[in-house]
Chains A and B, each alone.
Chain A
Amino acid sequence: MGILGGDGFSLPVVSETEVVDVNLNFTDKAIRALEQNMNGDEDTHVLVISAQSGGCSGYLYDMKIIKRPEDEGFQQISIGGINVFVHNKDSSMLNGIQIDFKETLMGGGFQIENPNADRACGCGQSFG
């Protein structure tokens, strides 16, 4: 079977982080941009905002429009009739973020300001 066994260990799994009730702030421009991107799929699709390791500062933001996930670990926030989902594991990192939308040719798109971040990368996509 080898040192790592066939079916895994009966050992403690590292547990995930603190869960808080998420509050998100969208600017009017960000809501309009979101509505355009949803393109009428509001009933079936949701916006998932998440964080994962990476980038120069430790964590990277990710935003995806996907079919409503079945995972029960999400918190659901309604923004202008659009369902925005944040997973519990990201809740403490993303609580209180402000999402804006900048219409510039260079570096435009959704911009996130995070009050929980001690630092951010110059590109604005990485925080820590």
Chain B
Amino acid sequence: MRNNASGEEYYVRAQSVTLLQGNDSTNVIDRVVSTRIVDSPDSHGIDVLFCDYNGRITDHGSIYKIQEKILLLSSEEMGDKTRKTLIDGKSWDEQCDLIIADEAIGRVSLVSADFQSIITRMGFEGTQLERNRVMEIGDMIAVKSEFPGGSVLDILLPRNQMSDFISILEDAEYSEMSDDRWNFVRLAVCIPSLIDIRGNLPNECGMINRISNDKGCYPGQEVHARLDSRGRTVKRLCLIMGESTISPGKYRLSNGSPAHITSCESSESVSYGIAKLRVDDIDSGYVNLDGAKWKVEALTYL
């Protein structure tokens, strides 16, 4: 975990939550996402991208296969549109119901230097956390997600149990993050928000691992295949770190190159942001942006 992003903290995240149930649910969702999910094991999370026919990202999410059902967590902004894409694409003879579970299931993200103690307190005794492995206890599931800047433990639980769970967290001396604090922490950990990636190609976002070149056709597949064989990545999403503050927007670097800051948040004397920069500028390790020096690191997601 990066400096200033550590501590025992939690944040209740706004999220679109969709439950897919029926024998054909996996196929219905697999045809739409860029990631291969048909072979994924039960009780395992997969990060997926939804793209348009130009290969550009329209939404992102995580899929959890649990008890022969699929739980899809996707962006709150695009939730309805993503659900419509799924239901429009269901064939008349496929068994797949899409159920809106926004009001039923909540997501709490925890940041800590030591997740093991809280999961033991929650009753996951003797269980070792592994990336994207879904652990169930009672009505809750816990999943550890890894990002370029650190890890987050996500707890999914019925909303009517949220206050009891928050009591457990507060007994364990976790403190609730404000929206600004969460934005800072997510940038330090490099958790992408839809605002950072929407409209970009997966390779520009360091998300090449979230596309499958052998699953067959899906929206955007032709473009992704061409990028894989003949493409050159000109711009990349990167983390910027500095001591100044900067607002999201379009800028010019001191060398004249374009820079697009999609998110930025400061805490004490450190600022983190996500920006889209030319690869040549990222390779130099530092950029001069809005009169200040910023360290840059290209982002790559598993």
A residues with CB within 8 A of B: 1-4, 8-9, 11-17, 48, 50-60, 62, 69, 71, 73-74, 87, 89-90, 93, 119, 121, 126, 128
Residue of A at shortest CB range from B136?
A2
Query: Which residues on B sit within 8 Å (CB–CB) of A9?
Result: 19, 99, 101, 104
Residue of B at shortest CB range from A11?
B99
Question: A3-B157, A12-B100, A13-B98 known; A73 and B85 CB under 8 Å?
Answer: no
Contact assessment for B88 and A53 in the assembled complex, using a CB-CB cutoff below 8 Å: yes
Task: Say whether B190 faces chain A, with CB atoms less than 8 Å apart.
Answer: no
Contact assessment for B19 and A16 in the assembled complex, using a CB-CB cutoff below 8 Å: no
Contact assessment for A87 and B92 in the assembled complex, using a CB-CB cutoff below 8 Å: yes
Contact assessment for A55 and B19 in the assembled complex, using a CB-CB cutoff below 8 Å: no
DSSP class of B's interface residues: helix, strand, loop or mixed? mixed
Task: Say whether B237 faces chain A, with CB atoms less than 8 Å apart.
Answer: no
Query: Which residues on B sit within 8 Å (CB–CB) of A74?
Result: 92
Task: Say whether B28 faces chain A, with CB atoms less than 8 Å apart.
Answer: yes
Contact assessment for B98 and A56 in the assembled complex, using a CB-CB cutoff below 8 Å: no
> Hey, what's the 0/1 contact readout for B73-98 against A, CB within 8 Å counting as 1?
00000000001111111111110011
Query: Which residues on A sit within 8 Å (CB–CB) of B69?
Result: 4
Bound: A93/B92 CA distance, A:
13
Contact assessment for A52 and B99 in the assembled complex, using a CB-CB cutoff below 8 Å: no
Q: Which 8 A/B pairs are nearest by Cβ-Cβ distance?
A: A53-B89, A87-B92, A14-B98, A52-B91, A54-B31, A53-B31, A56-B222, A12-B100
> Hey, what's the 0/1 contact readout for B193-213 against A, CB within 8 Å counting as 1?
000000000000000000000
